């Protein structure tokens, strides 16, 4: 559920009774009021809009209903979006909030900070439309602000006017939710006035380097591994952290647009005007018909007859393609609906994370997985709550404690499940009960940017092995489910992992670690294997453990000392043909022999 559109649109900021000199591109300027008249003065079709008005409220440990006040005229049809992510001045309010009627689920915002900010909700509402603009070549000029989580929930009032405790569902949004691509940026607070133009020369090539000498920044922006190939830093703090940058198109992912991110620039209107006047027509000429030069001869009324016929054929192919794309998009939505819990595993906390863990366990074949809190509420049980989940059809019962945290797990996060073992043993009259602590650590970071090697403290791992419980990150659970689905692993090949003390790794039981990659020869698509244990034969299957997934391949040939061999043993350094790329076949990648299956 997202905030509804406002009932009465506000003013658009367009001059009354005037037509723009350049009807395209359409430009929407959001919460940057001085930019609109500057663009309109240059003849552009610019309109003003707003994500909404934040309200100052008493600081209380309560939630207030979120009412939208955003005004984004014709936002689905824009070619360029200029947006300031900083929160505007608060509007005091002494009027009581109109409360939704009991039983109606709606969005609520925490009043704990003394601010009710509707802007992240508005961004979430329009994000799909903004993504579409971006995918089709639109340009976004964004002025950065520190990350802000409004702490929205979806809930409803009971007959007494109180919010239900059990029905609350967190809403994952923030003031950087305008575009999906922005989730790949790590935004952290920092302030300063000294900004240096990046050494890569991009800002100088665009001739905008002069604007960074007169402004300030209040956050630094670092790209994750997912977009480093499309990111170019424009300016940095004195310590080298990016404060401005640009995300370019990604044709492979059908993202054709550009995203410019700037700090607080004093001459902001001049910067935007210069970008629209001079920079963007060269980067995205399709958006600027008035700047097309002699390309007007390619319009239908002037084009060659044979060319027009060929274009008609293209149009038919495109229509067939669009139909097929719609079918594929429906399949994508169905897949996301079925397996959306996978992303909750690595982003969520609280009950959302618990439900994601339960779905993951059921996906891998566990039939008797119980939500302990929900069962207790249904049965009307009172008393202290214990574990979050029980796996009752593992080799022995497993008590599962689930945590979502922003940092790395401390000892208390992971040892809590051990406290539940003794009471359950007494209650059930058995001693063969196991514990499992599942932690979604550093959950605000993209998963590949998190710490993975030393997540758990050494004392925690020692206690886990000695006290009979396991520890698992949700990232490893995510990888385990992906491998289960991708390679058709069987339930019995992963089930015993959950009753084995110590750190649970996402490796099925029929994988035998035999060595690591050492060397790669791209001309012949071969790699070297440091065979450390076991025997490897032609015809065997091997699995390579990459950062996210396992890739399985058959061993079609083995070479040792430039001679073809049928078998290699521990201590050998054979060469294998492979389909892995050079980037995938990095030194140190673990290699497993895939065991025979009945």
Lowest mean pLDDT among 256-265, 346-355, 410-419, 422-431: 410-419
Q: What is the mean pLDDT of residues 60-75?
A: 88
Could you tell me if residue 374 is inside a domain?
Answer: yes
Q: What is the pLDDT of residue 244?
A: 97
CATH code, 197: 3.40.50
Q: How confident is the model at residue 380 (pLDDT cuts 50, 70, 90)?
A: confident
pLDDT at 13 over 80: no
Instruction: Give the count of beta carbons closer than 10 Å to the beta carbon of residue 408.
Output: 16
Give residue-wise pLDDT tens across range 71-92.
Answer: 999 999 999 999 999 999 998 8
Mean pLDDT along residues 187-208? 92
- Position 299 scores a pLDDT of 63
72, HSE (Cβ side, Cα atoms, 13 Å): 25
> Which candidate, 165, 85, 181, 49, places its Cα nearest to that of 127?
181
Predicted confidence (pLDDT) at residue 541 exceeds the cutoff of 50: yes
348 burial via Cβ count (<10 Å: 0-12, 13-18, 19+): buried
Residue 410 DSSP one-character state: P
Distance between CA atoms of 316 and 314, rounded to whole angstroms? Answer: 5
What's the average model confidence in pLDDT over 468-485?
A: 94
Last residue of one domain, picked from the residues 464, 479, 503: 503
So what's the pLDDT on residue 155? 87
What is the DSSP secondary structure assignment for residue 413, as one 8-state letter? H
pLDDT for position 228: 86
CATH number of the CATH domain containing 558:
2.40.30.10
Any domain includes 426? yes
Q: What is the mean pLDDT of residues 543-551?
A: 96
- Hey, what are 379's tokens? 């049965």
Please determine, for residue 361, whether its predicted confidence score (pLDDT) is greater than 60: yes
Specify whether 77 is located in the same domain as 210: yes
Check whether residue 333 and residue 380 sit in a common domain. no
- Dihedral through CA 528, CA 534, CA 538, CA 539, nearest 10? -120
How many domains does the chain contain in total?
A: 4
User: 283 in a domain, yes or no?
Assistant: yes
Which stretch of 28-32, 64-68, 175-179, 188-192 has the lowest confidence by average pLDDT?
A: 64-68
Token readout for 447 is 């998963």
User: Between 269 and 250, whose confidence is greater?
Assistant: 269
- Which helix (H) or strand (E) element contains residue 355? helix 350-363
Tell me: do 327 and 378 sit in the same domain.
no
Helices (H) and strands (E) in the chain, counts: 13, 34
Which of 475, 503, 531 terminates a domain? The answer is 503
Q: Name which of 296-305, 404-413, 456-465 the model is least confident about.
A: 296-305
* Crossing angle for the helix pair 474-487 and 350-363, to the nearest 10 degrees: 30
pLDDT tens digits, 324-343: 988 998 898 899 889 999 99
- The model's confidence at residue 2, banded by pLDDT at 50, 70 and 90, is very low
Let me know if residue 247 belongs to a domain. yes
CA proximity to 580, closest of 531, 534, 543, 539: 543
- 136 is a domain residue: yes
d(CA 202, CA 306): 42
Could you tell me if 82 and 205 lie in one domain?
yes
Considering the domain architecture, whether residues 429 and 363 belong to the same structural domain is answered as: yes
Contact 479, 548 (CB under 8 A): yes
- pLDDT bin (cut points 50, 70, 90) of residue 323 is confident
Q: Is the pLDDT of residue 115 over 50?
A: yes
Same domain, yes or no, for 186 and 256?
yes
Three-state DSSP state, 97: coil
Whole-number pLDDT of residue 251: 66
- How far apart CA 177 and CA 158 sit, in angstroms, is 31
Same domain (yes/no): 533, 496? no
Q: Distances from the Cα of 10 to the Cαs of 73, 89, 464, in angstroms?
A: 9, 18, 60
Residue 16 maps to a domain: no
Do the beta carbons of residue 26 and residue 45 sit within 8 Å?
yes
Asked whether the predicted pLDDT for residue 347 surpasses 60, the reply is: yes
Transcribe 33-80 into DSSP letters.
Answer: TTHHHHHHHTTEEEEEEBS---EE----SSEEE-----B-TTGGG-SE
432 and 450 in a single domain? The answer is yes
If you average pLDDT over residues 520-535, what whole number do you get? Answer: 94
Average the pLDDT over 385-403 and give the result.
92
Q: What domain range is 467 assigned to? A: 342-503
Least confident of 13-22, 223-232, 587-596: 13-22
Do 384 and 473 lie in a common domain?
yes
Distance from the Cα of residue 340 to its chain's centroid: 12
The three-point CA angle 315-316-321 to 5° equals: 95
Instruction: Please report which confidence band the pLDDT of residue 16 belongs to, taking 50, 70 and 90 as the band edges.
Output: very low
Helices (H), 395-517: 411-428, 458-467, 474-487, 491-495
Query: Is the pLDDT score of 109 beyond 60?
Result: yes
Q: Which long-range contacts (CB under 8 A, 24 or more apart) does 275-281 make?
A: 275/141, 275/208, 276/27, 276/39, 276/42, 276/44, 276/80, 277/42, 278/207, 279/206, 279/207, 279/208, 280/80, 280/139
pLDDT band at residue 209, thresholds of 50, 70 and 90?
very high
Residue 108 belongs to some domain of the structure? no
Question: Among positive and negative, which fits the CA dihedral 34, 38, 41, 47?
Answer: negative
Ordered strands of the 526-531 beta sheet: 550-554, 541-545, 590-594, 511-521, 526-531, 575-577, 558-560, 563-565
Quote the pLDDT of residue 10: 38
Residue 94 included in any domain: no
**What was the pLDDT predicted at 276?**
95
The torsion region of residue 195 among left (phi > 0), alpha (psi -120 to 50) and beta comes to beta
Output Rg (C-alpha) for the chain, integer angstroms. 29
CATH of the domain at 346: 3.40.91
Q: Please tell me whether residues 274 and 211 are part of one structural domain.
A: yes
Alpha-carbon distances of 305 from 301, 309, 310, 311, 313, rounded to whole Å? 10, 6, 9, 10, 13
Whole-structure pTM over 0.95, yes or no?
no
Residue 372's SS3 state is helix
Confidence of residue 100 (pLDDT cuts 50, 70, 90): confident
> Is pLDDT of 359 > 70?
yes
Q: Given CA atoms 213, 214, 220, 224 in this order, what sign does their dihedral have? A: negative
Nearest partner of 351 among 585, 481, 168, 541, judged by Cα = 168
Upper half-sphere CA count for residue 431 (Cβ side, 13 Å): 1
pLDDT tens profile 121-138? 999 999 999 999 999 999
With a cut of 60, say whether residue 6 has pLDDT above it.
Answer: no
Bigger pLDDT: 96 vs 35: 35
- Per the DSSP assignment, residues forming a β-bridge with 404 are 440
Asked if 248 and 128 sit in the same domain, the reply is: yes
219 in the same domain as 76? yes
Is the confidence at residue 293, as pLDDT, over 70? no
Residue 548: pLDDT above 60? yes
Boundary of a domain, candidates 339, 362, 390: 339
**What per-residue confidence (pLDDT) applies to 551?**
96
Question: Which range, of 118-132, 194-208, 246-260, averages the lowest pLDDT?
Answer: 246-260
Helix (H) or strand (E) holding 115: strand 115-116
- Which pLDDT score, from 0 to 100, does residue 365 have? 96
Check pLDDT > 90 for residue 14.
no
User: How are beta strands 526-531 and 511-521 bridged, if at all?
Assistant: antiparallel
Q: Which of 404, 409, 411, 398 is nearest to 469 (CA)?
A: 398
Closest listed residue to residue 211, CA positions, set 232, 200, 199, 195: 195
């Amino acid at each position: 559920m997202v905030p509804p559109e406002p009932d009465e649109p506000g003013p658009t900021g367009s001059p009354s009774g005037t037509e723009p000199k350049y009807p395209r591109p359409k430009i929407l300027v959001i919460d940057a009021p001085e930019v609109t008249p500057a663009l309109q003065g240059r003849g552009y079709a610019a309109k003003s809009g707003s994500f909404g008005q934040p309200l100052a409220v008493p600081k209380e440990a309560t939630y207030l209903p979120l009412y939208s006040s955003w005004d984004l005229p014709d936002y689905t049809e824009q070619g360029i979006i200029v947006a300031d992510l900083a929160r505007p001045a608060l509007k005091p309010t002494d009027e009581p909030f109109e409360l939704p009627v009991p039983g109606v689920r709606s969005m609520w915002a925490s009043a704990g900070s003394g601010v009710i900010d509707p802007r992240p909700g508005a961004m979430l509402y329009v994000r799909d439309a903004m993504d579409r603009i971006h995918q089709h070549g639109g340009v976004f000029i964004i002025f950065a602000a520190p990350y802000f989580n409004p702490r929205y929930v979806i809930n409803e009032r009971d007959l007494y006017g109180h919010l239900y405790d059990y029905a609350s569902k967190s809403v994952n949004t923030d003031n950087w939710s305008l575009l999906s691509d922005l989730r790949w940026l790590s935004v952290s607070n920092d302030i300063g006035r000294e900004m240096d133009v990046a050494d890569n020369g991009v800002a100088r090539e665009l001739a905008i380097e002069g604007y960074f000498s007169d402004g300030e920044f209040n956050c630094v922006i670092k790209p994750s591994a997912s977009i480093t190939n499309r990111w170019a830093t424009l300016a940095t703090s004195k310590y080298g952290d990016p404060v401005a940058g640009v995300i370019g198109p990604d044709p492979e992912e059908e993202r054709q647009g550009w995203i410019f991110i700037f700090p607080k620039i004093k001459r902001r209107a001049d910067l935007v005007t210069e970008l629209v006047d001079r920079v963007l027509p060269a980067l995205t000429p399709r958006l600027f018909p008035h700047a097309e030069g002699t390309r007007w001869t390619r319009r239908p009324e002037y084009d060659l007859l044979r060319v027009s016929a060929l274009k008609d054929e293209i149009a038919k192919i495109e229509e067939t393609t669009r139909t097929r794309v719609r079918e594929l998009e429906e399949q994508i939505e169905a897949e996301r609906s079925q397996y959306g819990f996978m992303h909750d595993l690595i982003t969520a906390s609280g009950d959302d994370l618990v439900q994601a863990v339960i779905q993951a366990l059921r996906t891998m074949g566990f039939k008797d997985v119980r939500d302990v809190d929900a069962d207790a509420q249904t049965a009307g049980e009172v008393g202290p709550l214990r574990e979050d989940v029980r796996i009752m059809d593992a080799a022995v019962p497993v008590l599962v404690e689930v945590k979502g945290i922003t940092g790395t797990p401390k000892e208390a996060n992971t040892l809590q499940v051990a406290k539940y073992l003794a009471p359950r043993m007494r209650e059930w009259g058995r001693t063969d009960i196991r514990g499992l602590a599942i932690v979604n650590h550093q959950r605000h970071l993209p998963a590949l940017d998190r710490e993975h090697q030393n997540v758990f403290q050494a004392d925690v791992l020692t206690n886990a092995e000695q006290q009979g419980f396991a520890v698992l990150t949700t990232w490893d659970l995510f990888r385990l489910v992906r491998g289960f689905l991708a390679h058709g692993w069987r339930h019995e090949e992963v089930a015993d992992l959950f009753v084995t003390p110590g750190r649970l790794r996402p490796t099925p039981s029929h994988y035998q670690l035999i060595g690591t990659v050492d060397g790669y020869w791209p001309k012949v698509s071969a790699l070297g294997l440091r065979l450390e244990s076991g025997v490897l034969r032609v015809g065997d299957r091997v699995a390579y453990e990459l950062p996210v997934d396992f890739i399985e391949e058959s061993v079609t040939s083995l070479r040792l000392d430039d001679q073809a061999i049928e078998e290699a043993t521990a201590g050998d350094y054979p060469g294998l043909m492979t389909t892995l790329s050079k980037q995938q076949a990095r030194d140190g990648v673990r290699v497993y022999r895939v065991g025979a299956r009945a």
